[in-house]
Amino acid sequence: MKFPRNARIVRGHLEIAPFASVFFLLVIFISLSSLMYTPGVKIQLPVAANLPGTDKPSVSVAVGPDGRLYYANKWIPENEFKAELANQVRKAAGKPLVLVVHADQHATYNMLLGVTLAARDAGINEALLATLPNPAAPAGKR
């Protein structure tokens, strides 16, 4: 038994206007989404290779280019930062903590010194600077 064919083959020309309108809408959405504000502080970490990491418990702090401290995703004054670090040392129950400093490449030495001295006063004796890996170095040579 032969079934009748209900599908018609399109033999006319393809209309380009709907495709063009969808394309332009996509261009508008993509360009507007790239202009949207993303909250946070932009920190440009310096690039370096062959720096050691840590396997110990760590506490992270970010230092912006203006010298502001950011701890736990919020701005924190230096005196509150010292108290928070001391609180983290008490919570660690005797395990040595490592301070990981995510410092902007435009942060000054005095800013970093203030952060590390605050950590030492709180009981953290080791501090590391966070960096980005060198993109030009091969994976085996890092």
Answer yes or no: is 1 within a domain: no
The pLDDT of residue 109: 92
* 57, 126 contact by CB (below 8 A): no
Neighbours of 31 (CB within 10 A): 9
Backbone angles phi, psi at 72, to 5 degrees: 55, 45
Task: With respect to residue 32, please indicate whether it lies within any of the assigned structural domains.
Answer: no
The pLDDT tens digits for 90-99 are 998 888 999 9
pLDDT at residue number 14: 74
**Considering only CA atoms, which of 112, 36, 120 is closest in space to residue 67?**
112
Structural domain total, the chain:
1
> Is the per-residue pLDDT at 29 higher than 60?
yes
Q: Is residue 9 part of a domain?
A: no
Tell whether 4 is covered by a domain: no
Look at the pTM and tell me if it is higher than 0.75: no
Instruction: Give the domain range for residue 90.
Output: 40-142
**Residue linked to tokens 């410092």:** 103
